[in-house]
């Protein structure tokens, strides 16, 4: 029991350290007033990049349409964002 508690504590500690130093965040995005049908859960950079900066970094801009075109942020890889969306929805 004591060994399991130590292993669990180490795993939680590693997760917290990884989360704080990771350049990514998981964010739910809604485009317009129809959510979650017109949106989803995406893996985005923590730092805010413009659409042009995102493309120059070889990222994938997350763009949707509400009342007009909405730029939600920059994803490092659209495959990872789709994986995160499937994982959380």
Encode pLDDT of 55-68 as tens digits.
Answer: 998 888 988 887 78
Secondary structure E strands in 46-88:
60-65, 69-75
Domain spans of the chain, in order of start:
23-88
Tell me which of 29 and 35 has the higher pLDDT: 29
**Given this model, what pLDDT does residue 81 score?**
65
Q: How far is 73 from 46, CA to CA, in rounded Å?
A: 9
Distance CA 15, CA 7 (A): 12
Report for 11-20, 30-39, 52-61: range of highest mean pLDDT:
52-61
The set of residues, in sequence order, having a beta carbon less than 8 Å from that of 54 and lying 6+ positions away, is 60, 61, 73, 74
Distance CA 35, CA 89 (A): 12
Res 48 pLDDT > 70: yes
Q: What pTM did the predictor assign?
A: 0.66
CB burial readout 7-42, b (16+ within 10 A) else e: eeeeeeeeeeeeeeeeeeeebebbbeeeeeeebbbb
Which carries the bigger pLDDT value, residue 77 or residue 60? 60
pLDDT-derived band of residue 16, with 50, 70 and 90 as boundaries? confident
């Amino acid at each position: 029991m004591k060994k399991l508690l130590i292993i669990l504590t180490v795993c939680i500690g590693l997760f917290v350290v990884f989360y704080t130093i990771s350049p990514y965040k998981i964010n739910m995005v809604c485009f317009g007033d129809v959510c979650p049908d017109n949106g989803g859960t995406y893996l985005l950079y923590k730092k805010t990049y413009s659409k042009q900066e995102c493309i120059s970094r070889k990222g994938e801009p997350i763009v949707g349409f509400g009342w007009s075109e909405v730029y939600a942020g920059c994803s490092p890889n659209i495959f990872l964002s789709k994986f995160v969306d499937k994982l959380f929805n």
